[in-house]
Structure 1
Amino acid sequence: MARTDIQADARRAFDVLKSGGSAILPMDVGYSLIGGSTPSLIRIFDAKQRAEHKLNAMIGDNTMSEDLHDLTPEQRDVVNCLTKERGLPLGIIAPAHPDHPLIEALDEEGLRRSTRDGTVCMLLNAGAFHAEISRLSREECHPLFGSSANRTMQGTKFRVEDIEPEIRDVADVIVDYGLRKYHLYEKSSTLLDLSEMKVVRIGSCYELITDALELEFGISLKQAA
């Protein structure tokens, strides 16, 4: 059996996404169902039976976030500490520059489904495959959005075989890398609203994130109601 080839697999998946398709991709925080166009995101919403008010998260890396998000030096320091120094996966919610090419690439419906009050949620540091497909997205200026590969409220899936058939059926390509790194958490990424330093969702590595922020910055995170 051939070993996995992250560059080739990411390229294959990205080409499908760039052509408007959808893909199930291996992130350290669980498998994600990602779309490369507004029609694909609508198909994903329908398959997941996702509530209309729920937003997509953007796939990205620190370099993309540095250009796209409008952060203070202190907020950027927090992100770098958690993702670069501590090596933790993190979903960040922060204001985005509306004139960034990746934002301008979205149509009106894509913006409505993927942004709120000028903010964009972006998943950072979710493993080697995530890093490679984020690089392709950034360098080829084609935004990728999505959410966990599961029906709504049915829990993050850490093996492809655990993903519901109706979710697998909507994907034009599935990249199966076996059991994902943070499966013991049984949760996707922790989501942090940087504007308010508020936890929107408790997820993988939450206790490591809160401990690092207390130790490094003296920050005690608020929790969303």
Structure 2
Amino acid sequence: MTAVIFDLDGTLIDSAPDIVANANVVLQEMGFAPLPPTQIKGFIGRGVGHLLRSVLEASGQVPDGPLLEPMQTRFNERYETAFDMTVIYPGVIKTLDQLVGMGCALGICTNKPIAPAHAVLRHLGLADYFPVVYGGDSFAVRKPDPTPLLAAVKDLGHEAVIYVGDSEVDAATAVAAKLPFLIYTEGYCKTPVHDLPHNAAFNDFRQLPGLVAALAKG
């Protein structure tokens, strides 16, 4: 049996509209002009701290200055309910059902904080698929450090494990954990896919069960 561990934002769900809106609301509450959505979207993937440091820097402020803590507090207060515009990518639910039918165990390793991760999974009806979920604040380190991914591997208890993600961070995490990596090309990656280490790329979730089966066969 194979365990398949997924990233969340940009892989299973498109949450960028809510993250962007949340960041811009907090910016405006603190007296700054909103930033272009595409700019904020480019900051997603390395955790809330990186996102807000980048937002502050783009607003002409010191990234690690006195504004970071109050901004992070305001952002996090809203984050657990920031899912009104978040959607599941096409084909995800059918694919998860197929993977379960193939005997795969499923988990999530994301840099999204654990409480918002659980909240959005419940909201979208995905929670029951994933008995193991680790977030960006589950440990003192986050991806690309392999610690949370390896913890998910241990909890799922399968020798064959595949990681599925959409970004440079996910590719680096898979390398650090020494796991095969499948990259979803319709997420938030900024680097050309051919420049990232991966076993295979896919742009349609209908392709994923076949890729998992092929890797499982070795």
TM-score w.r.t. the length of structure 2 is: 0.25
Structure whose alpha-carbon radius of gyration is higher: 2
Greater strand fraction, Structure 1 or Structure 2: 1
User: Which of the two has greater helix per residue?
Assistant: 2
Higher relative contact order by CA 8 Å / sep ≥ 6: 1 or 2?
A: 1
